Amino acid sequence: MPDDVSVSEKIVERLLAPTAIDLAPYVINPYQGCAFGCRFCYAQFSKTARAQSLPWGSYVTVKINALNVLRRELKRLRPARVLLGSTTECFQPIERRYGLSAAILALLVEQRIPVVILTRSPLILDVLALLRQAEVTVYVTVDAAPPVVRGTGAAAREPECRQQIQALRGLRAADVCCVPYVCPVFPGLFSPAEIFSALRGCGRIECELLNFAMAGLPEWLPQLRQQWPEVAECYARMIADEQYYDQITAQIGSELAQAAGECGLSLRMHTHAFQRYFQNRYRRGQSV
C-alpha cells in the first residue's frame, strides 16, 4: 500500500445496491476511492469522489462493517447474482490489509450466490482458492492506455497490461471462468496485435472504446497534444462531429474484429453513443 494514500474507515447502513448494469441485479463496492489512481478512471467523477477534497488515487475509504451488513441483508434478500467492483477496484492494495473483498466473496460462495467480478488487479489471484469454489465470471481489464496517459514514476500505480495477462493465465490454469476486457481503447493509440496475440486461447475478449466524457481528458490532453498532435486533433473532432465519431468508431470496431479473428478470438465491442458517453451499449454490444 503506497505510504501517501490516506486510509479512512466508515460505517455503512447498506452494502448491496441495486443496479441497471446487466451483469447482475445487485452490486457491492467494499471500498471508495482507489489507490491505483488510473488517470482515465471513470469513478473519479462519481458523486462520492467529487465530494472528496483529496485527489483521485490518494485516498481509500473502507466500509469497515461491510461483512456484517451483508450477512444481515442476505437474511431478507437473495440476489440471483452479485457484481463485485462495479465502481472501484475490490482487489486494490488495501485489500491485503483488510481482506474485505475476500471475506465478502467467501460469504457469497458459502451462500451459493453466483458472482461476477470486474477487476484490473493482479491481486485477484490471492483469492484463487475461493474462486475455484464459486459460480463466478471474472472480467479482467487489460490496460491498453498509452504511456502518455499512464502516470509516470511514483505516480504510475495502476497495474500493467502484462500483469493482467499473467492474472488471466493464472485464472485459466485454475479453470476459473474469466474474460479479458481491454479498456479503454484509445483511438489511434492502440495496436491490438501484441495484446490479442498474448490472449490467444481465451476464446473471447471484450473491448471498450474510450469514454470521452468520463476519462479525465482535460488532465492528459495537453500532454497528448505535445506528443501525438494528430491524435489530439482526431479526438477534438470526434467530440464535436457525430458523423466523424461514428466513422472512427466503426473503423476501430472492424480493425479490432479482424485482429481478434487472426488470433482465434471472438470480439464483443462496447462503444458509447455520440455525446451520451456514459450510456454504454452493454446490452447492444455486438459479438463479431
Residues interacting with ligand SF4, by CB under 6 A?
34, 36-38, 41, 43, 88-89, 120, 158
Backbone angles phi, psi at 271, to 5 degrees: -120, 180
3-state secondary structure of 232: helix
Task: Give the nearest distance from C-beta 227 to ligand SF4 in angstroms.
Answer: 22
Nearer to ligand SF4, 89 or 206 (CB): 89
3-state secondary structure of 209: strand
Nearer to ligand SF4, 60 or 248 (CB): 60
Task: Give the nearest distance from C-beta 247 to ligand SF4 in angstroms.
Answer: 28
Task: Give the nearest distance from C-beta 92 to ligand SF4 in angstroms.
Answer: 6
Nearer to ligand SF4, 30 or 37 (CB): 37
Name every residue whose Cβ is closer than 8 Å to that of residue 265 and which is 6 or more positions away in sequence. 196, 199, 200, 202, 203, 204, 205
> Is the Cβ–Cβ distance between 260 and 185 less than 8 Å?
no
What end-to-end distance do the CA atoms of the chain give, in Å? 40
CA-CA distance, 181 to 204, in Å (whole number)?
A: 9
Task: Give the nearest distance from C-beta 33 to ligand SF4 in angstroms.
Answer: 8
Nearer to ligand SF4, 34 or 167 (CB): 34
3-state secondary structure of 101: helix
